[in-house]
Amino acid sequence: MIDNALVVLNSLSGKKEAFEPINPGHVGMYVCGPTVYSNVHLGNCRTFISFDLIYRYLKHLGYKVRYVRNITDAGHLENDEDTGEDRIAKKARIEKIEPMEVVQFYTVDFHQTLEKFNTLPPGIEPTATGHIIEQIELIKEILEAGYAYQVNGSVYFDVLKYNETHHYGKLSGRKIEDLIHNTRSLEGQSDKKNPQDFALWKKAEPQHIMRWPSPWSDGFPGWHLECTAMSTKYLGASFDIHGGGMDLKFPHHECEIAQSQAIHQQPPVKYWLHANMLTLNGKKMAKSTGNNILPMDIFTGNNDKFKKPYSPQVVRFFMLQAHYTSILDISEAALDAAEKGYHKMVKAVDQLSTIEPGEKEGDFDTDQWLKKCYAAMDDDFNSPSLIAQLFDAVNFINTILHKDHPIHKTQWETLHKMMNVFIHDVLGIAPEKKSNDATESKLNKTIELLIELRNKARVSKDFETSDQIRDQLMEYGIQLKDGKEGTQFTLH
């Protein structure tokens, strides 16, 4: 048994609860992954970084964690009423490419982006399209249990029937009466018995590209089904942690509970954890509204929101300075402050390595400090509180360096080891790379400036200067090529 005092805020009860996994020593964790029809924005990244912190800390405590995070590469209609186009198929139609090309392109982008943020890959990353058979089997079971009905080749979950014996709305706190009154009636547009019912299987219209055969029609699974299918397959009918952004509580997670409970007659998840939103200008970052920023545009500085670039590690540190359940607003001032704090912390840890400890006790209670660090993380993964403790240690290190205060050997050993453990293993902050995206972006801009100067020289017939720029760049391994589109360059 792992001995710890970890408590987690369970969205289901709304309370902090002692963390006791179903199988002692083992944790099953499922996190809803991205829908891969466009680049992940920084808001999406915050949720994945939040769960990376949780995954890292559970591992640090010694749990054997099976972390499953899916890729949504099918389904997802444009709105909650189960109408509109499949977003991936729409993108494929607009760009005249295969839906699977859309999926592949944005899956690669997702992985590359998360790697820059130093997140650990999940143990299993299943795709919705790779689990169509499991989803069809699940629908059969829900039909058999009497909680779904079939109409014109589509299958819907019967929310009212389910609510007779279960509590639909127990996660999101929504009342079924309000749902009945507030759900838009879809007269004539839908085969649903009641507007609050949700699709398990949709018959595909002739133009719908992503389709699979099923006992009911050639069609595609409903949005909520994939997560139930994949979490059950890899973690069982009941598992420890289910995570995702707050905005997925309803309807997505509420529907997941209903689907699973309808078949297994037991709650699928012991602890529901929800990460809060990243906002920009006080509004939620979202793909649909355009109020978002792409991680790459922050790293390179190529954006109209911030004056300078920020490295992935600084952005990660900025995010971890807020608790994962709090809303976080991104701004230039906040990023600048995070950058300053990050450098101060990294510098102190670097300098700690160069300090010669002695026999004289320094004015710092390392045992107490260590307890406070663990207490912070045990309190629902409170990273801002951990960071505050790390800065207490940074201040102590700075008094040793600048005020010539002593540090005992054992104090040094604890601090040296545990600062690195908390910063790198738990918070997941990697050392900044020397050649980063911002440097690359600066280099590109400098070459573009030289190309512009060369063109000006050519226009004014100053061939000596224009040739000098071209030849000198060639010598540095930068080749200019003049073409219809202007002058391009390649690096050798």
Q: Which is nearer to Zn ion, 242 or 470 (CB)?
A: 242
Find the shortest distance in angstroms from Cβ 76 to ligand AMP: 8
Residue matched to tokens 């012991």: 270
With CB under 6 A as the contact rule, the residue among 47, 135, 228, 232 that binds ligand AMP is 47
- What letters, b where the CB count within 10 A reaches 16 and e where it falls short, cover 204-218? beeeebbbbebebbe
Beta carbons of 79 and 195 less than 8 angstroms apart = no
Beta carbons of 391 and 415 less than 8 angstroms apart = no
> Does the protein bind Zn ion through residue 32 (CB under 5 A)?
yes
According to CB under 6 A, which residues from 270 to 329 bind ligand AMP? 277-278, 284-286
Distance CA 155, CA 272 (A): 27
With CB under 6 A as the contact rule, the residue among 28, 43, 222, 309 that binds ligand AMP is 43
> Does the protein bind ligand AMP through residue 6 (CB under 6 A)?
no
Q: Which is nearer to ligand AMP, 110 or 364 (CB)?
A: 110
Distance CA 289, CA 297 (A): 18
Which of Zn ion, ligand AMP, none binds 227 (CB below 5-8 Å, type-dependent)?
A: Zn ion
Find the shortest distance in angstroms from Cβ 456 to ligand AMP: 44
With CB under 6 A as the contact rule, the residue among 12, 46, 55, 191 that binds ligand AMP is 46
Which of ligand AMP, Zn ion, none binds 179 (CB below 5-8 Å, type-dependent)?
A: none
- The β-bridge partners of 479 are 490
Distance CA 288, CA 279 (A): 14
The C-alpha torsion from 295 through 301 and 302 to 303, rounded to 10°, is: 70
**154-157 and 148-151 beta bridge pairing:** antiparallel
Which of ligand AMP, Zn ion, none binds 397 (CB below 5-8 Å, type-dependent)?
A: none
Angle between the N-to-C axes of helices 463-475 and 437-459, in degrees from 0 to 180, rounded to the nearest 10: 150
Residue among 371, 322, 368, 381 at smallest CA distance from 57: 381
C-alpha triplet 134, 138, 143: angle, nearest 5°: 150
How many residues of this chain interact with ligand AMP, rule: CB under 6 A?
A: 16
Which of ligand AMP, Zn ion, none binds 341 (CB below 5-8 Å, type-dependent)?
A: none
Q: Which is nearer to ligand AMP, 35 or 389 (CB)?
A: 35
Q: Report how many helices (DSSP H) and strands (DSSP E) the chain contains, helices first.
A: 16, 15
How many residues of this chain interact with Zn ion, rule: CB under 5 A?
A: 2
With CB under 6 A as the contact rule, the residue among 10, 11, 35, 118 that binds ligand AMP is 35
In one-letter notation, the amino acid at residue 161 is K
> Does the protein bind ligand AMP through residue 44 (CB under 6 A)?
yes
Burial category of 287 from C-beta neighbours within 10 Å (exposed 0-12, middle 13-18, buried 19 and up): middle
Residue matched to tokens 């060639």: 474
According to CB under 6 A, which residues from 174 to 193 bind ligand AMP? none
> Does the protein bind ligand AMP through residue 122 (CB under 6 A)?
no
Which of Zn ion, ligand AMP, none binds 46 (CB below 5-8 Å, type-dependent)?
A: ligand AMP
The H or E element spanning position 487 is: strand 486-491
Distance CA 438, CA 335 (A): 15
> Does the protein bind ligand AMP through residue 53 (CB under 6 A)?
no
Q: Which is nearer to ligand AMP, 148 or 328 (CB)?
A: 328
> Does the protein bind ligand AMP through residue 93 (CB under 6 A)?
no
Find the shortest distance in angstroms from Cβ 383 to ligand AMP: 15
Which of ligand AMP, Zn ion, none binds 35 (CB below 5-8 Å, type-dependent)?
A: ligand AMP
- By CB under 5 A, which span of 127-135, 224-232, 306-314, 446-454 interacts with Zn ion? 224-232
According to CB under 6 A, which residues from 242 to 271 bind ligand AMP? 244-245, 247-248
With CB under 5 A as the contact rule, the residue among 227, 296, 328, 386 that binds Zn ion is 227
Find the shortest distance in angstroms from Cβ 277 to ligand AMP: 4
Burial category of 292 from C-beta neighbours within 10 Å (exposed 0-12, middle 13-18, buried 19 and up): buried
Question: Which residues would be at the binding site for Zn ion (CB under 5 A)?
Answer: 32, 227
Question: Which residues would be at the binding site for ligand AMP (CB under 6 A)?
Answer: 32, 34-35, 43-44, 46-47, 244-245, 247-248, 277-278, 284-286
